Amino acid sequence: MNKKVVLHTALAGIMSFSLFAPGVSAHDTLDDISIEKGSHEAELNEIPTLEGSKNLGNWKEAAAVPLKEYDGKKNSTADVYAHKGYAYLGTHTSGGGNGGVRVFDLKDPSNPVEISRFAEEIPGTWQEKVIVKTVNTPHFKGDLAVVSVQQLNRDNPLSKGGFLLYDVTDPFNPERLGFWELDKRVPGTHELYLTVQGNKPLVLTANPYADYYTHGEQKDFALVDVSDPTNPNTVYEFDPRMLEEVPEDFNGYHWNSPDGKTRPVFNHSTMTDGNGQTAYLSFWDLGTIILDISNPNDVKYLGRTDFAPKVQGSAHSAAISKGGNVLIETREVYAPTRVGYEESYGYTRIFDIKDKTNPKLLSTFKTDLVDNVEDGVTFANTVHDPKVHGNTLYLSHYAGGVRAVDITDPAAPVEVGKYVPEKAYIWGVFVDRDFILASDMGQGLKVLLKNKGHQ
């Protein structure tokens, strides 16, 4: 399929705007599609406790540490990342947002210590995603953190979305370097990724509904050169109009797809392979879009995953395995009984992408939760984020905790362990050295260590 891909250079002006109506809180909603969840403590408390073991194979829970409270406010966790012996936890919207990124010293993984907080300074925002990498450019040398910033309410004149850049070379004393700002009609950067291409650090952003709310002036995906973190420079943008199967009058959210359905389309998440040559954009019902970004000034569309007519799309996040030849795609389906679709919560799909212009579905992986559509609990049963370590796929699964899946044969994935603590609401998972980190929205940072007595 030939694609018309147009290169968009740097934005005419740096951006800043939101879509949240008063009272909507952190729910980016168009019709019945919401990209956010679990934003109220009441919702967390209502999640049913699932029976199950706290063990994940031969792993055990070694630590469970709540976030510190500031000014009497209790924030909830979002995603988790680790770098050089420190865990970085983003925060969600409980307590009114502005929880910032929490840094934990993991010198003793069984006793993590919260040592600092940063990126909480923009009023009326929340900080979900943080990625940290070591970079070395003429402008900056050290450990660079990028943090997504999303608005709680567009009516707040002080709020603005985008991403913050911090120097965390000394994790005890993070220092702000710069801010990439979105047009204020856009809620902000939802998920992002930091990659280092040679010696050039690039940030990939998912800015849901940017195309829709700015009438195409700005795009759901931006590639930003942060070689000078004090002056981030947008070098490329992408939106679905660049694809032949999407008509020119595509309105930036409602897609009249070839299967006769009107499907939602927005960029939810981004990531790259290890050397920053290929980007993977989780574009909800357009699937996972694959771009060649080896030359950031000449980005090329390669291919995308798609869905059978009866399958809700909801491509939420991605991970790469087998040297970049296998794609893991998680689908966050939280409305399992939509007319015209199969009855199922979100499950994982695994693709052969040796030929990135033609992804081939190898298998699907479903937990014991996804077909339980009778209880009506939003988000509790859907998969969320994937991470891969060796031949093991780790999935955060909200009330389903953390699931470990053997993907030695990606055509035949097998669940090999699960960690389901009481009142689990696991947002993110990350594998660091010889332990697993999990962010539990209601309970803070969890650390899983190998149970040496059972090896």
CATH of residue 306? 2.130.10.10
Q: Tell whether 6 is covered by a domain.
A: no
Sheet-wide strand order for 77-83: 77-83, 86-91, 101-105, 113-118
Is residue 217 within 8 A of residue 201, CB to CB? The reply is: no
Amino acid of residue 27: H
pLDDT digit string (tens) for 110-133? 999 999 999 999 999 999 999 999
Is residue 224 within 8 A of residue 234, CB to CB? The reply is: yes
Is 145 strand, coil or helix? strand
Q: 176 exposed, middle or buried (CB, 10 Å; 0-12, 13-18, 19+)?
A: middle
H or E segment and range at residue 44: helix 41-46
Tokens representing residue 181 in the block: 């700002």
Give me the number of domains the chain comprises: 1
Percent of the chain with pLDDT over 70: 86
pLDDT for 3 beyond 80: no
Sheet-wide strand order for 426-432: 59-65, 444-450, 435-440, 426-432
The pLDDT of residue 40: 36
Provide mean pLDDT across the span 23-49.
45
The alpha carbon dihedral of 48, 53, 54, 59 has a sign of negative
pLDDT for 31 beyond 60: no
CA distance 182 to 13: 9
Q: Tell whether 1 is covered by a domain.
A: no
Domain hosting 64: range is 15-454
pTM summary value: 0.90
Q: Tell whether 97 is covered by a domain.
A: yes
Q: Tell whether 84 is covered by a domain.
A: yes
CA distance 427 to 442: 10
Q: Tell whether 130 is covered by a domain.
A: yes
Q: Tell whether 7 is covered by a domain.
A: no
CA distance 262 to 227: 40
The backbone torsions φ and ψ at residue 324, rounded to the nearest 5 degrees and listed phi first, read 90, 5
C-alpha 251, offset from chain centre? 24
Is 227 strand, coil or helix? coil
The backbone torsions φ and ψ at residue 41, rounded to the nearest 5 degrees and listed phi first, read -60, -30
CA distance 180 to 167: 15
pLDDT digit string (tens) for 85-99? 999 999 999 999 999
Neighbouring residues of 231: CB distance < 8 A, sequence distance ≥ 6: 178
Q: Pairing between strand 414-419 and 426-432?
A: unpaired
Q: Tell whether 67 is covered by a domain.
A: yes
Q: Tell whether 2 is covered by a domain.
A: no
